[in-house]
Amino acid sequence: MMGVKETLRAALLSFVILAVLLGAWHLATLPKEQAAASDDEYAKLMGKGAKKSDGFPTPAQLGETIVRQLSDPFYDNGPNDKGIGIQLAHSLARVGAGFALAMLVAVPLGFLIGMSPLLYRAFDPFIQVLKPISPLAWMPIALYTIKDSSVSGVFVIFICSLWPTLINTAYGVGAVRRDWLNVARTLEVRPLRKAFQVILPAAAPTILTGMRISIGIAWLVIVAAEMLVGGTGIGYFVWNEWNNLNLTNVIFAILVIGVVGMALDILCGRLQTLVTYVE
């Protein structure tokens, strides 16, 4: 019962924090009081309404935008006006493709590197040099060689999600308890069975941690990548709305990016609990 009570209190506190933030935002964006009527006329002459603000959207405007955008997320009025659902789908498809390709390389390669101290040391300098490179730095090379902006985006996601999973897989495989390997040895377990039935389940929690970090980074990078390559996607949406000077839409997009990122992380977290074991 204590747990439920604690949860309720935490939720209540969250709401208070949200209310304070929205309240502060609302107060900060209240329309400025205008002193003289002549100014109103002047304003009308200048093509502006009676309401005047410094241009930053209010919470109410954001609310309207959220309702409007979510009520019709999949409309398509040409290249510069697509619903948020379509943009998200493009981004998720790129992240999904790049991440999947990265996993196909990182997990088996990490396995090899983790099993062999020789390979570990041979690959280490490459990993150490390539890992800290901002994935966007690869973009020109990707654009030049691949010659397709959308595929280049996928490549950037591939490159950035490779390293955490590769490193974690190698570490997890290398750190499998000697006792378990000795059990496998005394039972004369064949290498393939040992890999799949001893090492893989033993290293799975570490591998999943790597994948969770990878997908997190991929979601960070996709926004920037799509701002660069343009065309479609949530990153392009943000940049396009900035060019339209529609800050409300930009804030809305930021919210959506956060929520989707959280959802991806929760999904990975669920997978992680599935393979986690208690020693």
Partner 1 sequence: MSFLEVQGLKQVFPARGASPETVVFDDLHFGIEKGEFVCIIGHSGCGKTTILNAIAGLEKPTDGVVIMDNREVSGPSLDRGVVFQGHALMPWLTVMSNVAFAVRSRRPDWRADQVRAHCQQFIDMVGLTGAEHKKPSELSGGMKQRVGIARAFSIQPKMLLLDEPFGALDALTRGTIQDELVRIVRATHQTVFMITHDVDEAILLADKILLMSNGPRAVVAEIVENTMPADRTRMTMHHDPQYYRIRNHLVDFLVNRSRLYAGGDARAAYDSKHPPVVRPGLEAERAAPVPPTSEPPRAAVINLRHAN
Residue 248 CA: distances (Å) to CA of 53, 61, 62, 207: 14, 7, 6, 39
Residue 95 or residue 184: which is nearer to partner 1 going by CB? 184
Two tokens, residue 196: 């799949």
Q: Give the burial class of 49: count Cβ atoms within 10 A of its Cβ; 0-12 exposed, 13-18 middle, 19 or more buried.
A: exposed
Q: Which residue of 8, 18, 130, 183 would you call a contact of partner 1, by CB under 8 A?
A: 183
Q: Which residue of 38, 71, 77, 186 would you call a contact of partner 1, by CB under 8 A?
A: 186
Residues 122-181 that bind partner 1 (CB under 8 A): 177, 179-180
Q: How far is the CB of 181 from partner 1 (least distance, A)?
A: 10
Q: 165 with 108: CB under 8 angstroms?
A: no
Q: Say whether residue 195 binds partner 1 (CB under 8 A).
A: no
Q: How far is the CB of 179 from partner 1 (least distance, A)?
A: 4
Residue 211 or residue 222: which is nearer to partner 1 going by CB? 211
Q: 232 with 80: CB under 8 angstroms?
A: no
Q: Which residue of 4, 45, 49, 277 would you call a contact of partner 1, by CB under 8 A?
A: 277
Q: Which residue of 7, 31, 185, 231 would you call a contact of partner 1, by CB under 8 A?
A: 185
Residue 5 or residue 190: which is nearer to partner 1 going by CB? 190
Give kind and range of the element (H or E) at residue 176. none
Q: Say whether residue 188 binds partner 1 (CB under 8 A).
A: yes
Task: Annotate each residue in 199-228 with x if it binds partner 1 (CB under 8 A) or - if it does not, as one string.
Answer: --xx-x------------------------
Q: 101 with 154: CB under 8 angstroms?
A: yes
Give backbone dihedrals phi and psi of 276, rounded to 5 degrees, phi first: -75, 140
Q: 158 with 94: CB under 8 angstroms?
A: no
Torsion of CA 265, 267, 268, 269, to 10 degrees: 80
Size of the site for partner 1 (CB under 8 A): 19
Residues that bind partner 1 (CB under 8 A): 177, 179-180, 182-183, 185-189, 197-198, 201-202, 204, 275, 277-279
